[in-house]
Amino acid sequence: MTQPLSDSEMARWIAWKRANEAVLAAVAQEIHSAAGLTAADFAVLSRVVENGDGRMPQQTLGAMLDWKRPRLSRQLSRMAERGLVRREDALGRRVLIIATDKGRTALAASRPAHARAVRRALFERTTAADPDAFWNAVQEIAAPPEAAP
């Protein structure tokens, strides 16, 4: 039977969760202040504009974000109501998500805020003796699991 986390392991786990939440909240707040976008708006627009040149099949977008269809659909509806994206029918019952000029402008306005917030909330605070070791560990944790043979 696996033993529960020790006190020091639990403290590190809680610190990791709080740090993650604090960084994400700081970035979200900065983006919202700069461009009026939510973190979800930013996630959608950045994928559509930067990976799809402003157009992307809805199914591809959902896979990139790792969002279930209902969540993505609700988010896209809210964004369409605000004029940030529009939906367009495509071949084979596919739906294309298209970033509007308003959405592209908001994304462009949010990019500097995003960079500032990430640097301030995360990179400037990563002052370990060997920051490369820390970031190598983070990248290893974040890597997708290898497919089983």
Number of helices (H), then strands (E), belonging to the chain: the values are: 6, 3
* Domain range 23-124, its CATH number among 1.10.10.10, 3.40.1180.10, 3.40.50.150, 2.60.120.10: 1.10.10.10
Q: Give strand pairing partners of 88.
A: 96
Least confident stretch, 27-31, 67-71, 135-139? 135-139
pLDDT at 37: 98
Residues 31/121, Cβ–Cβ less than 8 Å: no
Place of tokens 């559509």: 48
- Residue 103 DSSP SS3: helix
> Is the confidence at residue 93, as pLDDT, over 90?
no
pLDDT at 74: 98
Q: How far apart are CA 60 and CA 14, in angstroms?
A: 34
